[in-house]
Amino acid sequence: MSLRPELFREMAALRRLPGGEEDSRAWQKAYEAIEEALATLEEEALHGEEPALVFHPGGSVSASGGPRATSVRPHRAGGEIAELSVTSAASLIHRKELSPVELVRAVLDRIDACGKRINAYITLHAEEAIQAARRAEDALVHRHPLGPLHGVPLAVKDLFFEAGLPTTAGSRVLQDFVPREDATVIRRLREAGAVLLGRLNLHELAYGVTNENPHFGPVRNPWNLSRIAGGSSGGSAAGVAVSLCLASLGTDTGGSIRIPAACCGVVGLKPTYGRVSRHGVLPLAWSLDHVGPITKSVEDAALLLQVLAGLDPRDPTSSPVPVPAYSRMLGGDLEGVRVGVPKGFFTDPVEIDPGVLAAVQGALQVMESVGASIVEVSMPFLRHAPAVQFFTLATEASANHGWLLRTRGRELGLDVRRRLELGEFIAAPLYVRTQQARRRLVREFTDVFRHADLLVTPTLPVVAPPLGAETVAIQGVQKRIQPTLTRFTSPLNLTGLPAISVPCGSEVDGLPVGLQMVGRPFDEATLLRAAHAYEEASRVHTRRPPLTNS
């Protein structure tokens, strides 16, 4: 059924939604996309499939790998201090070779020097951060117990609740919202000794992949200021890439940690659904949202996950699966590790830039060189994942933010408003049918992991597109940016599997390429070990964007 303009306006009026000519034309096109995606779902008979969300958080997978000593970089002077990794900085602070105040001031100096060009921060709490650093230094002097992140300056996406501080979610509509309590992950960072610098820019309501924010301005890519940083956690990734913080927190609903990590050449980890608490995090889509770290190295990601992970009674999706010592499991080669490479979906030449594909193939050779065995795997149902993600996200996001749409819709950015409107037109039976398809997708991944220990794919089909672009060219064909950038990442939100994006060993047009690794549920240990082995062999994580040296 075609959604005629007059029918659209009639339905919009009933829902008290904007329904002008411009909206009518836009949604005529969008509704045709819904019908096309629905036809895709109908290709297979799924009526007997029970609806399901993600992998059940009840079981764990044993991990291999022995302990590894933490490496520490030499003490550095001046602005170079800001470029330290979390692991190195924490070690220097614990040995009293680096002052937390000195470190925080160095990062604040970096923000003064180049922060405006990147536009990573919405709010910077400089004075509060210095005071926290002084308290951390006093604790060192008086030999108080120290946490693993003692005195280390981090920043968080402006989606996490901090008591007494505005949480905008990147929208002026929420600029007066002030939480009364900290999110669980904020509390855990503070308990670990972290110094929080401020609130990072994001795509409005975390509902987009470009981080072109109409209220707070776009986040710019530090590798090329005319390119997007990716989203929705664009400030979190760009800030880490140019050392405006040593690491950050992001959220990931369709790729929003891994997409900007790939665009900005840093590490982005989406843990298993239920591994990290979401209590006190403004939701976008309940069954798809994940919380995770964005860091300069895999070693830092392991350390941050160690701090963040664990059961939280205040999050009903939180898992009781024990948290292993991730950092101690890094090191060694990949001998005996089976790396699955899905054929078709991730390598279709009409869906991926040839330069990106060549870079990923080169990365697989590196993994082979450190002992991994490469096996091709078949995942025919994976082609339905974009449609399943589309319906799930649109419905849940509109259910969650529908009140904003109805009360202050005209104040929202046009792209976000239209996505929320779209969800209002999706019928409940269609959402249920979508979850049936989702169950089938979960089963396909379960089957694949009988033949592979982890999967390796590109993170993105392309490198970071230009700011302001609505489409990107692949093999001469223009494709819409939103579905293109989420094509390879969103299946892991649907299934809840852990996934990490690390910088690939090659660049395309001077821009980073992301390599995505996917693990079994709650087997972040194997995932991190493999990513670390690749990182050490390729040494790609030592590269920094040109802006770092300017």
Catalytic positions, written as ranges: 157, 232, 256
Residue for token digits 């050392």?
243
- DSSP-assigned states of every residue in 121-168: EEEE-HHHHHHHHHHHHHHHHTT----TTTT-EEEEETTB--TTS---
Contact 201, 211 (CB under 8 A): yes
- Which of 542, 361, 547, 337 shows the shortest CA–CA distance to 449? 337
Q: Is 62 left (phi over 0), alpha (psi -120 to 50) or beta?
A: beta
Residue 225, beta-bridge partner list: none
- Measured torsion, CA atoms of residues 43, 45, 47, 53, in degrees rounded to the nearest 10: -60
**Cβ neighbours of residue 79 under 8 Å, at least 6 residues apart?**
106, 109, 110, 113
C-alpha 100/C-alpha 84 separation (Å) is 12
* 226: helix, strand or coil: strand
Q: Specify the pairing of strand 454-458 against strand 338-342.
A: parallel
Contact 93, 152 (CB under 8 A): yes
Quick one: three-class SS letters along 280-314? Answer: CECCCCCCCCEEEEEECCHHHHHHHHHHHECCCCC
Q: Which run of H or E residues covers position 524?
A: helix 524-538
Cis peptide upstream of residue 490 (ω within 30 degrees of 0): no
* 455: helix, strand or coil: strand
Q: Which two tokens stand for residue 513?
A: 């390429």
**Cβ neighbours of residue 187 under 8 Å, at least 6 residues apart?**
none
